[in-house]
């Protein structure tokens, strides 16, 4: 079975531990600007939302890449071949979720690759706003939640 990182924005406090853990694991440095996950704050409501690749069914980022550097691997994770990438950043502009951004040091595309199934952002999230779950379980939970909402239960 395949797993995915799921975000519960109701639990996120905006602490940034996920960004710190990601940057240290991916770059060896504590530089949250180089993290593959970003936490955004809606100032008016005080709501925090971790943003990362949502593994779109039909990834627009892959469609717009002129050199086919963006692809889906065997596990379903959307990846960027950084050697093939020509830094046009079309994928960054095309992502409907704002999940891709540019590494300020290397000037390459950054995206979450789920760390080969052991994402440090999930491990270090003390509030459990990020969870590593089976896709089938997550989809079933979403359907149940939507049904409860629609039918007032």
Counting Cβ atoms within 10 Å, is residue 18 exposed (0-12), middle (13-18) or buried (19+)?
Answer: buried
Q: Given a cut of 70, is residue 82 above it in pLDDT?
A: yes
- What pTM value is reported for the model? 0.83
Domain limits, the chain: 3-52+112-151
Q: Which of 148, 123, 94 is nearest to 22 (CA)?
A: 123
| CATH assignment of 3-52+112-151, among 3.30.70.20, 3.30.56.10, 3.40.1360.10, 3.40.640.10 | 3.30.70.20
Q: Given a cut of 70, is residue 89 above it in pLDDT?
A: yes
């Amino acid at each position: 079975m395949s797993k995915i990182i799921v975000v519960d924005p109701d639990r996120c406090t905006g602490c940034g531990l996920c960004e710190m853990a990601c940057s240290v694991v991916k770059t060896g440095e504590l530089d949250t600007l180089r993290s593959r996950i970003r936490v955004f704050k809606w100032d008016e409501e005080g709501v925090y939302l971790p943003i990362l690749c949502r593994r779109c069914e039909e990834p627009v980022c892959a469609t717009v890449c002129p050199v086919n550097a963006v692809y889906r691997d065997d596990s379903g994770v959307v990846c960027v071949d950084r050697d093939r990438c020509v830094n046009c950043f079309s994928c960054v502009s095309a992502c409907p979720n704002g999940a891709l951004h540019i590494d300020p040091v290397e000037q390459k595309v950054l995206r979450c690759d789920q760390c080969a199934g052991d994402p440090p952002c999930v491990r270090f999230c003390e509030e459990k706003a990020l969870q590593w779950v089976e896709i089938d379980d997550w989809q079933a939970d979403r359907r149940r939640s939507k049904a409860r909402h629609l039918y007032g239960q």
